[in-house]
């Protein structure tokens, strides 16, 4: 039996290993912690036209803002809207950004009970009203794009439920991916929005991962050609979904984003604060920066392109002053293939952007704790300090900036910099969240849980048959917790009326269908683990696997409860051990099953509230699983003696204790 347990353990680990190997290899082989030697620097930095020397000039400088996952709702947290209004009025007036990127989930699209999900006209009216009252179009260029919440229960772009078209700034002219270009100080900047929302947006929970259709990829490639033809010097990609949450029918989104030499960064949202500071440098040569949400955390991002170098800082609403060091750039975020550190090494001034609602009274700089030096105010938010970069030619150094305004608000920020390519490493969790593949992970988790549910039961059954046939010696085990559970699972697997449903039902769930009904209001759809068919469209499965994994986990726990019940029935038939079980004994047997059954009923009920009666009735995954486990529980508690007779060929009871025996019980 030890060998059998070891074999099962090894098989499980092997499955998990191969599920993750591609993601782990991609992440761990990424070069983000290295030093670029002088002789190899030309290989690391791609050739580009010589930029003007970084001095104290206001030329070659642009700054802009990003806000994401606003989740405006007419039903909850009114401060979400009022503080968004403050952002559009006070923050924009102070920072005066050239562009604001609103990267999706503009509205919440949930019902008052927070269960149902569809487009609420009131949410969109709030969004439009705030922008209008703040007069944002006369302050800045507002580039908004859809998120998954903005497509809940939207069958198509032409649907009357697609309020993004009429209530957003860009929706009417740019309903999906689009390009916006501006020229400043003789330099052309491109902002390229990527809409990866599903063409047909189902209600929750099956609208989490984005998809780039072939048609959309072709449209984006045309936009890329426009950028190249226009000779734009800088391109900022923006969208709602991180690349780890986007499927594509042909070209992968990362190779698409990396194909544009002028494209330095992709900014997005969606994951809120799943992991703090979700930033990474993708293998395709661009920075990916996920922004924490406005919904609960009131975050926004200040970004700047200063003499070809892109810098950013994520700040909270009402946190003043806002400070951004643009030269020397943070070493962590240098893009080796697109930014040349020689420009920093040849620069004459440290450059800092400072904003506050009160007048700035003091800006000081400290490098490597060598003392504070006062910066000079140039124009607008720019403060500069003359420096000698040759002093810092080797390794990592640290620069601090202290800022104070008339209202005695103070801010100190610090960041590393280097002139030779030395850099710190991105956080591992951030890299996993952005460089992995959520769809692959969800799918892998589902099939791992499926194997863990089915394989042990089949293995016990197979070994049991070999023992009964005399082809394998009866296992000998020491007494203990594992022996007890092996015995219970063994006995369960030997009973036909329980074994076959336990094995066949999970296998059925691996290919479906799971449910049939109104996945989108007024449109019948069919849910499979590997995707959803609705209105003639196929939506590849992703979060469906998460939902299925939850049900497999519950089913696994119910199998353990069934094993307990079968063991109790086994004792009853062999030694009449449970004829007068105490109240606590009955509770110990029944309560775990009842709690899980209640959870299954709740999940089925929620599914009914979200998708309606038809989907509830035609739901093998939700509604039928309740019936399925209820029937199996009844069968386990009422097993006749003939059903457990074969198990007694391996297990028998003496003095009320079960043990393995070589005797045959007739």
Contacts of 605 (CB under 8 A, 6+ apart): none
**End position of a domain, from candidates 408, 435, 462:** 435
Q: Do 134 and 245 belong to one domain?
A: yes
For residue 34, being part of any structural domain is answered with: no
The DSSP secondary-structure symbol of 88 reads I
**Range(s) of the domain holding residue 382:** 63-435
Q: Do 407 and 491 belong to one domain?
A: no
Q: Do 367 and 298 belong to one domain?
A: yes
φ/ψ (deg, to 5) at 625: -65, -30
CATH number for the domain spanning 370: value is: 3.60.21.10
**End position of a domain, from candidates 401, 435, 469:** 435
Residues in the chain: 666
pLDDT in tens, 274-310: 999 999 999 999 999 999 999 999 999 999 999 999 9
For residue 30, being part of any structural domain is answered with: no
pLDDT reported for residue 115: 86
For residue 222, being part of any structural domain is answered with: yes
Q: Are strands 263-268 and 234-239 parallel, antiparallel or unpaired?
A: parallel
Domains identified in the chain, total number: 2
pLDDT reported for residue 35: 34
pLDDT reported for residue 50: 56
Q: Do 425 and 501 belong to one domain?
A: no
Q: How high is the mean pLDDT of the chain? A: 88
Rg (Cα) of the chain, in Å, rounded? 31
Q: Do 405 and 501 belong to one domain?
A: no
For residue 334, being part of any structural domain is answered with: yes
Nearest to 283 by CA among 662, 28, 17, 632: 28
For residue 185, being part of any structural domain is answered with: yes
φ/ψ (deg, to 5) at 430: -65, -40
Residue whose token pair is 């590997």:
530
Separation in Å, CA 20 to CA 247, 260, 443: 17, 29, 11
**End position of a domain, from candidates 435, 469, 484:** 435
Q: Do 390 and 462 belong to one domain?
A: no
Inter-residue contact 336 to 36 (CB < 8 Å)? yes
Q: Do 215 and 335 belong to one domain?
A: yes
Residue 243 structure tokens: 């690349």
Mean pLDDT, 10 residues at a time, over the chain (666 residues)? 45 47 50 38 43 88 97 92 97 98 96 88 96 96 97 94 96 96 94 96 92 94 95 95 92 90 93 94 95 96 96 97 97 91 95 97 96 95 96 95 97 96 94 93 94 94 90 75 86 93 95 92 92 90 92 96 91 66 76 95 93 92 94 93 84 50 40
pLDDT reported for residue 390: 93
What's the CA gap between 323 and 558, in Å, rounded? Answer: 55
pLDDT reported for residue 576: 63
What's the CA gap between 161 and 22, in Å, rounded? Answer: 39
Beta bridge partners of 183: 188
Beta bridge partners of 538: 533
Contacts of 491 (CB under 8 A, 6+ apart): 563, 566, 567, 570, 644, 647, 651
Q: Do 379 and 428 belong to one domain?
A: yes
Q: Do 312 and 349 belong to one domain?
A: yes
For residue 11, being part of any structural domain is answered with: no
For residue 378, being part of any structural domain is answered with: yes
Q: Do 419 and 446 belong to one domain?
A: no
Q: Do 420 and 497 belong to one domain?
A: no
For residue 147, being part of any structural domain is answered with: yes
Q: Do 360 and 480 belong to one domain?
A: no
Nearest to 23 by CA among 291, 220, 254, 263: 254
The DSSP secondary-structure symbol of 205 reads T
């Amino acid at each position: 039996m030890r060998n059998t347990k070891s074999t099962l353990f090894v098989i499980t680990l092997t499955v998990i290993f191969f599920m993750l190997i591609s993601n782990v290899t991609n992440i761990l082989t990424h070069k983000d912690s290295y030093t670029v030697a002088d002789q190899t620097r030309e290989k690391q930095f791609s050739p580009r036209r010589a930029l003007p020397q970084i001095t104290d000039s206001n030329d070659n400088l642009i700054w802009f803002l990003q806000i994401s996952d606003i989740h405006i709702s007419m039903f909850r947290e009114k401060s979400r809207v009022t503080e968004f209004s403050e952002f559009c009025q006070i923050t924009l007036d102070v920072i005066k950004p050239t562009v604001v990127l609103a990267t999706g989930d503009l509205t919440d699209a949930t019902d008052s009970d927070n269960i149902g999900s569809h487009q609420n006209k009131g949410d969109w009216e709030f969004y439009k009203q705030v922008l209008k009252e703040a007069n944002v179009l006369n302050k800045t260029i507002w580039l908004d794009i859809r998120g998954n919440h903005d497509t809940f229960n939207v069958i198509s772009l032409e649907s009357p439920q697609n309020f993004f078209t009429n209530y957003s700034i860009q929706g009417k002219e740019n309903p999906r991916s689009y390009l916006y270009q501006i020229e400043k100080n003789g330099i052309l900047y491109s902002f390229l929005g990527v809409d990866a929302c599903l063409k047909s947006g189902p209600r929750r929970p099956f609208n989490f991962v984005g998809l780039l259709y072939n048609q959309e990829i072709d449209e984006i490639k045309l936009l890329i050609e426009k950028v190249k033809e226009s000779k734009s010097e800088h391109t900022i990609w923006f969208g709602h979904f991180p690349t780890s949450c986007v499927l594509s029918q042909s070209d992968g989104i990362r190779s698409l984003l990396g194909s544009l030499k002028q494209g330095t960064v992709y900014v997005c949202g969606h994951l809120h604060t799943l992991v703090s500071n979700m930033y990474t440098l993708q293998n395709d040569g661009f920075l990916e920066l996920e922004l924490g949400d406005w919904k609960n955390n009131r975050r926004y991002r200040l970004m700047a392109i200063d003499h070809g170098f892109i810098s950013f800082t994520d700040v909270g609403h009402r946190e003043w002053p806002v400070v951004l060091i643009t030269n020397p750039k943070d070493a962590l975020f240098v893009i080796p293939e697109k930014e040349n550190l020689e420009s920093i090494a040849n620069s004459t001034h440290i450059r800092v952007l400072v904003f506050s609602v009160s007048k700035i009274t003091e800006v000081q700089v400290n490098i490597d704790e060598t003392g504070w030096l006062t910066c000079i105010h140039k124009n607008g938010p720019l403060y500069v300090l003359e420096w000698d970069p040759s002093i810092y030619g080797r390794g990592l150094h640290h620069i601090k900036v202290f800022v104070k305004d008339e209202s005695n608000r103070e801010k100190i920020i610090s960041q590393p910099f280097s002139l030779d390519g030395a850099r710190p490493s991105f956080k591992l969790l951030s890299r996993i969240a952005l460089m992995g593949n959520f769809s692959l992970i969800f799918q892998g988790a589902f099939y791992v849980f499926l194997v863990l549910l089915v394989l042990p039961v089949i293995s016990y059954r197979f070994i049991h048959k070999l023992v009964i046939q005399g082809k394998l010696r009866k296992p000998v085990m020491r007494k203990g917790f594992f022996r007890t559970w092996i015995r219970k699972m063994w006995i369960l697997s030997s009973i036909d009326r329980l074994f076959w449903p336990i094995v066949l039902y999970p296998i059925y769930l691996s290919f479906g269908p799971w449910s049939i009904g109104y996945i989108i209001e007024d449109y019948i759809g069919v849910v499979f683990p590997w995707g959803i068919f609705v209105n003639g469209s196929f939506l590849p499965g992703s979060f469906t696997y998460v939902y299925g994994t939850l049900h497999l986990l519950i089913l696994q726990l119910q199998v353990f409860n069934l094993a307990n019940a079968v063991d109790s029935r086994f004792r009853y038939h062999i030694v009449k051990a449970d004829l007068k079980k105490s109240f606590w004994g009955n509770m110990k047997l029944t309560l775990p099953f009842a709690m899980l059954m209640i959870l299954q009923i709740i999940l089925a009920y929620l599914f009914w509230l979200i998708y309606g009666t038809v989907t509830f009735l035609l739901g093998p995954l939700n509604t039928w699983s309740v019936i399925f486990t209820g029937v199996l529980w009844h069968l386990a508690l009422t097993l006749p003696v003939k059903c457990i007779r074969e198990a007694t060929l391996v297990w028998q009871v003496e003095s009320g204790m079960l043990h393995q025996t070589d005797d045959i019980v007739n």
